[in-house]
Structure 1
Amino acid sequence: MEKFTRNQRISAITKILIENPNKIINLNRFTEMFNAAKSTVSEDLIAIKEILLKLSLGKIETIPGAAGGVRYIGGVSEEESLRFAEELCMILKDRERIIPGNFLYVTDLMFNPDVISKAGKILASSFNNKGVNYVVTVETKGIPLAYEVAKMLGVQLVVVRRENKVTEGPTVSINYVSGSTNRIQNMTLSKRTINKGSNCIFIDDFMKAGGTALGIMNLLKEFESNLVGIGVLIDNIEMDRKLVDNYVSIIEFEGLDGEDNAILNVSKKIKM
């Protein structure tokens, strides 16, 4: 069988780990792939662990036991998080993004793979130690961001619908009050989606008063599950009263200035 150099092994192992965040990979997979001893692979992993920590690109954890192995937990450096948030603020300050009703247009960013990938890594790093089983979002704009967070945490994405769909089978539906408009709205989720006793986080693109997040919390109670965290791309801090307080965000929207320009800043709730 072909032999591989140390550099070749380290490159391949790093790629496999980063492409499978939070997934336990048995060392036997690497020993068989490279026809190498466990001690050799272990030395390779030490080198990978050191460089990832130095560059703030995440960490490698070793899980002992017969079913153990190693797993990659994603991370983002403080400098990278800050740079991304500042760049995003500059993009969103463009006056052309203000649409009738003084709303901020963000749809293009929510479907921009580069933006959503970086935002997903930043938000996911806030929940690495929460024991998350599911990432939950509400259709539709928040789905790409929630998907990236779920991917980085290595868990299932769950999408809550605004109305029942025949293809979902039996569902659980609740009414909730929008925190910004005080209107009664509905959300529904298939009974098959979430296991009882699960830990979930809610990810969305924009938070106004937090009515949707509170609705998600109440919906999860119907599944005997817990909402252990909330993450949003943009937090509208114009709202005097929030219905939830356990959340993180990347940037803050303070409204418009006298010339109708958006006022945005790096969020004080961002994980650094």
Structure 2
Amino acid sequence: MGRLKRNERIAAIVKILSDNPNRTFTLSYFSDLFQSAKSTISEDIVVTKQAMEKANLAKIETITGAAGGVRLIPTTTAEKNQKILTELCHRLKEKDRILPGGFLYMIDVLYSPHLIHSLGEVFACQFDYSEVDYVVTVETKGIPIALMVAKAMNLPLIILRHENKVTEGSTVSINYISGSSGKMQRMSLSRRAIKPKSKVILIDDFMKAGGTAKGMVDMMKEFDAEVVGMGVLIGTKEPEKKLVSDYIPLLILEDVNEEKGEIQIYPNQNLIL
């Protein structure tokens, strides 16, 4: 790479940091990449930091010491949350999303890269993940959003599966009652997936009674892992008492009226005020 002008270096730094949130890059990395002195790179980073934080786009953190460097930490505001979550609610209120039994069709939302990326950052900003080791979800619909949360946090993603896979070796399996279907189901995880004494954050797409979430918590106990946070994309208003507590829903689903074709869903007020 040839030598770049300052504005070109700053643009490149923003691109690199934004593509790799919570990953630390040393000054030497940028110095070698741009063939510039570290002092020059430091000045570039100061400008980058000021611009990103002034526009409320992200936080740029500099780390001193031999292992230091610079990293981008995703941030959000109540205003940004309101815009993202309100837009999502408008989409989910479309009456043709209602499926027999009062369920909602959500596949197009869950597999929308731009939207899920934004929701992943909203989730990431709700937890202190400085000492967390893994993001954990259960297949299958929770995978896209959990993956974006893991990316924003720069953490590995662990997926609890409904069936054992021969490629995963020895597994641990537990049974649980799904809160939405009321049916007995099973989840399993490779014994190699999580190290003992790890700290995890659980992410899922939907919570009604909390049966699946409790199953995830119980599975973490089998690995002697500590659950330090739990988030769901949509939590139902009823039943008010779930099988788990201390979870953060992005949206609250109050009612689905099949006869009238009406869906009452709104953002979690704690995230937008």
Query: TM-score normalised to the size of structure 1?
Result: 0.94
Q: Which residue of 2 aligns with 1:116?
A: 116
Deviations 1:1-59 (A, max 9, x none): 84321111111111111111111111100111122222211111111111111122121
**Structure 2 residue matching 1:40: 3-state secondary structure:** helix
Q: Which residue of 2 aligns with 1:265?
A: 266
Please tell me the residue identity of whatever aligns with 1:264: I
Please tell me the residue identity of whatever aligns with 2:13: I
Cα contact 1:249–1:269 (8 A) shared by 2: no
**Structure 2 residue matching 1:197: 3-state secondary structure:** coil
- Correspondences of 1:22-61 after superposition (within 5 Å): 22-61=22-61
Count of aligned pairs between the two proteins: 272
**Structure 1 residue matching 2:271: 3-state secondary structure:** coil
Deviations 1:223-256 (A, max 9, x none): 1111111111111112232112211122111013
Q: Which residue of 2 aligns with 1:249?
A: 249
**Structure 2 residue matching 1:121: 3-state secondary structure:** helix
- Correspondences of 1:10-159 after superposition (within 5 Å): 10-159=10-159
- Correspondences of 1:154-233 after superposition (within 5 Å): 154-233=154-233
Deviations 1:87-122 (A, max 9, x none): 111111111111100111111111111221111111
Deviation at 1:184, TM superposition (A): 3.1
Q: Could you list the runs of 5+ residues in structure 2 that have no partner in the other structure?
A: none
Please give the alpha-carbon distance, in whole angstroms, between the structure 1 residues aligned to 2:122 and 2:229. 14
Please tell me the residue identity of whatever aligns with 1:113: P
Runs of 4+ in 1 over 6 A off after TM superposition: none
Deviation at 1:200, TM superposition (A): 0.9
Please tell me the residue identity of whatever aligns with 1:267: N
Please give the alpha-carbon distance, in whole angstroms, between the structure 2 residues aligned to 1:108 and 1:162. 23
Q: Could you list the runs of 5+ residues in structure 1 that have no partner in the other structure?
A: none
Please tell me the residue identity of whatever aligns with 1:101: G
Cα contact 1:232–1:249 (8 A) shared by 2: yes
Deviations 1:96-150 (A, max 9, x none): 1111001111111111112211111111111254522111111101111111111
Cα contact 1:203–1:230 (8 A) shared by 2: yes
Please tell me the residue identity of whatever aligns with 2:271: I
Please give the alpha-carbon distance, in whole angstroms, between the structure 2 residues aligned to 1:239 and 1:21. 37
Please give the alpha-carbon distance, in whole angstroms, between the structure 1 residues aligned to 2:31 and 2:111. 39
Please give the alpha-carbon distance, in whole angstroms, between the structure 1 residues aligned to 2:183 and 2:101. 17
Identity within the alignment, %: 47
**Structure 2 residue matching 1:270: 3-state secondary structure:** helix
Cα contact 1:205–1:233 (8 A) shared by 2: yes
Root-mean-square deviation (Å): 1.8
Query: TM-score normalised to the size of structure 2?
Result: 0.93
**Structure 1 residue matching 2:269: 3-state secondary structure:** coil
